Structure 1
Amino acid sequence: MPTLFPVFKQLRKLLTAAGIFGHRCRQMLNAKRYQRQFIGFALVVIGFVAACNGTSSNNSVRYTSANVQTDQLTRTVEHAMGTTQVPETPQRMITLGTFTTEALLAIDTPPIGAVARPEAYLKEQLQGTESIGYRRPDLEKVLALQPDLILGSTSLEEIYTQASQIAPTVLFEFDTSGDWKEIFASVGQAINRSERVEAVMDEYRDRLATFKERMGDRLNQLEVSMVRVYPGYFELYQEDIFAGTILLDAGLSRPPSQRGGQPVQRISKEQLHLADGDVIFLWTDGDNFESKQDAQTAIKQLQADPLWSQLEAVKQGNVYQVSGEHWIGSGPVAANLVVDDLFRYLLEEEDPS
């Protein structure tokens, strides 16, 4: 565990001033085996102080993390929760969700800590990153890592005040996964690496330009459907969902049932005709072995169903099963894997770039 005594020193002053720093707390400070308990105690105090001060303080900087230097150069960043002073060149960043994690990985700036998720396509790049919890952050672990910047989305708005007392915290507005490009650009601006973000997006656009050129006239002749299979029902993914935005960028058309409307449309087996297209990209997914097994069973049942065999894409052999992990992805890393699939299945070649 990183040394936490600078944090404890600040909290000692705070609690002494409040008249509640007694003999028991000194024991906890001086005994290594009590450090974890004290971290939890520290978070309670942080929450208490934040509540006393209110949440409308314009994110004034009161860092609890010992890693942040008071004379460090900072920049003002506007975000979903207001404005925050962040380090000019943050070095110890923590991400609270896959969107911000993937944004940092795409520009070769891995976070020191991240919320763990099961996406296999990110695991290799996250080998040196500490887990701070599964799906939701453990603030004790966040505090122990001494970050100089915390990045997340408004889905974690309820912990914003506590997180801000550990380190400057920036949350980005998140409506649907189709917002991935905007979030990527916002992360780049927040950490002062916009040029690197733009370089990554230029490469993405160049790959799609090559794809369009190789497709030629076929580009205007294909309607591409996206279907996710669950036990007992199916989902159609619309244009403004993550993979939908990539198909649009690639110049590919969508079936009428997948244009506009809700980002995801649930259909029954009797509505399978809505899933048809010239090409169908099909996937399933699960968070554990049992759910993945159930999903694979659902795929086999679908393939044996007479209603499925009546679809034109099925008759023509134009159904491609892909990885749901990156087709419902979160950023540039997953986006480029989707582009890989477009080259592989629609052009039957690897991207030459």
Structure 2
Amino acid sequence: MKQKLMVFILAIFVLILAACSSESSTEESKSTDSAEPKETAEAKEMTVKHLLGETPVKVNPENVVVFDFGVLETLDTLGVEAVSALPKEGTIPSQLEKYTSDDYESVGSLKEPDFEKINELQPELIIISARQQELYEDFQEIAPTIYMGVDTTKYMESFKENTEILGQIFDKEAEVKEELAKVDEAIQALNEKAAALEDKALVTLINEGNISAYGPESRFGIIHDVFGVKAVDENLEVSTHGQSVSFEYLVEKDPEILYVIDRGAVVTTGQASSPAKEVLNNDLVKGTKAFKEDRIVYLDPNVWYLSGGGLISVTEMVKAIDESL
């Protein structure tokens, strides 16, 4: 009798354990099921920290307005097809000619955005840079906005950071890694070539007959700071617009290489502007080493002035300086 009772009690105990185990398994399953949607939801949004703040951004947005040509270059190189609009009033860099088509809406100019049109488009993301910096709050009222201007005092670090962020936003991280590796390899080869030369260079921008010079850490300082070309003047004013100089200054510094960016060739100002070659066609310039050695190098303003900081323009910059050496 006692033996039957023990068997009965044991059977009940086993059933209770089985029931508890099943309930525990069910609760664990419920817990796992509820966590998955949460993780998926988090994966659809990221917070981008930038110069003007922190902005929650949808991952893989499908309707993007871009106000920076360098960013547009990078998105194009990565095969991102989410761009819906850009500033088409004014000159669009030749390397981005496809974006002049009617497939892309026009949202004003670089300095005068068409906010009414942007609002009408209801974008999921707006990307701006230095030319639109003061209008950041106005953009933010329409859609999540991030600033992606390049910091010229740390050009490559800033360029790479922007590119990597774009890779995260558009799920192109592997492609970004591959493209940046190509750029690094090209720059390393250029550094070795520049280090072997004693020649010194001066970077200038010519606009409506006026000459501005740029040194290290300036807008075009990448030539010295990153590419390794020696500067003929280390003490030039560091600014976006450069330091105004004269023909006499060019003679005094007498660089072996004179780099020239012709702003007038790509920007319509409403006034007639002499081409840079005409401006430099005088006896003072003809007395410099750069002229005598045929080393006045005219850099493509589409790449150096209108754009910059993108995968296409940085690659073209490396190529142009490499050829000049």
What is the TM-score normalised by the length of structure 2?
0.70
CA distance, structure 2, for counterparts of residue 188 and residue 238 of structure 1: 28
Q: 2:199 aligns with which of 222, 241, 244?
A: 222
Match of 1:252 in 2: 229
Q: In the alignment, does 2:247 pair up with 1:269?
A: yes
Change in Cα spacing, 1:84 to 1:342, as seen in structure 2 (3 Å) is closer
Match of 1:307 in 2: 284
CA distance, structure 2, for counterparts of residue 104 and residue 333 of structure 1: 10
Q: Encode CA deviations 1:127-176: one digit per residue, 9 max, x unaligned.
A: 44322112232122212323211111365355434433432222346665
Match of 1:53 in 2: none
CA distance, structure 2, for counterparts of residue 235 and residue 284 of structure 1: 11
Which structure 2 residues correspond to residues 1-353 of structure 1 after superposition, within 5 A?
Answer: 73-110=44-81, 111-116=83-88, 117-126=90-99, 127=101, 128-135=103-110, 136-153=112-129, 155-172=131-148, 176=152, 179=155, 181-183=157-159, 185-186=161-162, 188-189=164-165, 191=169, 193-212=172-191, 215=193, 219-255=196-232, 257-259=233-235, 261-263=237-239, 264-274=242-252, 276-286=254-264, 287-288=267-268, 291=271, 294-296=273-275, 299-303=277-281, 305-328=282-305, 329-331=307-309, 332-346=311-325
Q: Percent identity?
A: 20
User: How far apart are residue 251 of structure 1 and its match?
Assistant: 2.3
User: How far apart are residue 88 of structure 1 and its match?
Assistant: 2.1
User: How far apart are residue 249 of structure 1 and its match?
Assistant: 2.4
Coordinate RMSD, CA, aligned:
3.2
- Secondary structure, counterpart of 1:134 in structure 2: coil
| Count of paired positions | 271
What is the TM-score normalised by the length of structure 1?
0.65
- Secondary structure, counterpart of 1:261 in structure 2: coil
In structure 2, list runs of 5 or more residues that go unmatched. 1-40
User: How far apart are residue 87 of structure 1 and its match?
Assistant: 0.7
| Residue pair 2:216, 2:238 contacting (<8 A) in 1 also | no
CA distance, structure 2, for counterparts of residue 220 and residue 166 of structure 1: 52
The structure having more radius of gyration, on CA atoms, is 2
CA distance, structure 2, for counterparts of residue 241 and residue 103 of structure 1: 22
User: How far apart are residue 267 of structure 1 and its match?
Assistant: 0.6
Change in Cα spacing, 1:300 to 1:166, as seen in structure 2 (3 Å) is closer
In structure 1, list runs of 5 or more residues that go unmatched. 1-69, 347-353
CA distance, structure 1, for counterparts of residue 174 and residue 201 of structure 2: 33
CA distance, structure 2, for counterparts of residue 158 and residue 280 of structure 1: 34
User: How far apart are residue 112 of structure 1 and its match?
Assistant: 1.4
Match of 1:27 in 2: none
Higher RCO by CA contacts (8 Å cutoff, separation 6 or greater): 2
